Amino acid sequence: MKIFINIAILSLLVLSNLAIAHSHLKLSFPKYGSELNTPPEDLILEFSSQVKLVKLQLIDESGEKIKLNVKPSENFKTSFSIALPILDSGSYNVKWMAMGKDAHKLKGDLPFTVGSQDQD
């Protein structure tokens, strides 16, 4: 019986270490859900460990994709800075996908707003 308890404890420790080892988005600018008075010049994504940025899209409030000068990264890095075009007032959403060194895929959304939404 003692051996089963030891195996269970060891399994939990190994699994918890694997879960902690995965990368995650640590910081972004703009921040998730932020309301900015002026349009950002750059999009910054910072991860907890090195990843490759596989896909990045900027979508406006009408659902249109805004062209970005970005390609999938060839090297693993923890931080990415992408120049943005001049953005009009409105709501935007960044959709990103990255891959960790362990081949774990990460993806997320990063909505933000530029300027006033009150058009009265």
The answer on pLDDT for 22 being more than 60 is yes
Q: Give the residue-averaged pLDDT of 47-59.
A: 96
Q: Which CATH class is domain 24-114?
A: mainly beta
Confidence of residue 118 (pLDDT cuts 50, 70, 90): low
Burial code (b: 16+ CB inside 10 Å, e: under 16) for 81-104 equals ebebeebeeeebebebbbbbeeee
Residue type, 71: K
CA distance linking residue 76 with residue 49, whole number of Å: 9
Render pLDDT for 77-111 as a digit per residue (tens, 0 to 9). Answer: 999 999 999 999 999 999 999 999 988 999 999 99
SS3 17: helix
Q: Any idea where the domains of the chain sit in the sequence?
A: 24-114
- What's the whole-number average pLDDT of the chain? 86
| Mean pLDDT to the nearest integer, 46-62 | 96
pLDDT for 29 beyond 80: yes
Provide the pLDDT for residue 10. 46
